Amino acid sequence: MSSAYQFFKKGKTLFDKGRLVEAIMFLEKARDIEPEKGSIREILASAYYNCGFYDSARENFEAALRIDASNDFAHYGLGLCLLREKDLCRALGHFKIAAAMNPKSEKYKEVLRKFT
């Protein structure tokens, strides 16, 4: 029997190689075993987002934030999902939180410059 960590590790390796659909299959198994692991939710959300499964991405970024509200990347990712829904006001709120938590992130600064 495989552990959540083994599924996560395999999913992350596939994610890093750009094999996102395969990564999702392993990351979903890891999530099913450890639904309250923010690291699993975060990378699963990223994989969903990069595949264009925006609703699933949003659900998992939201879950990552319920687990750890100080997850700057989850705020950023949720902001991206909200932009897709044309909810600029809420998206900016999450981008601002991400940038405040990690002020050195060029990615966060760039998105704020673009939309403010």
CATH number of the domain located at residue range(s) 1-68 in this protein = 1.25.40.10
| pTM reported for the whole predicted model | 0.95
Confidence at 78, pLDDT banded by 50, 70, 90? very high
Task: Quote the CA–CA distance of 56 and 41 in Å, as a whole number.
Answer: 10
The secondary structure element, H or E, covering residue 74 is helix 72-84
Contact 43, 76 (CB under 8 A): no
Counts of helices then strands in the chain (DSSP H, E):
7, 0
Question: Can you list the pairs that 5-11 forms with residues at least 24 positions away whose Cβ atoms lie under 8 Å?
Answer: 5/30, 7/33, 8/37, 8/39, 8/40, 8/43, 11/43, 11/44, 11/47
DSSP letter assigned to residue 37 = -
pLDDT tens per residue, range 90-99: 999 999 999 9
Sign of the alpha-carbon dihedral angle for 45, 50, 52, 54: positive
Domain boundaries of the chain, sorted by first residue:
1-68, 71-116
The pLDDT tens digits for 3-17 are 999 999 999 999 999
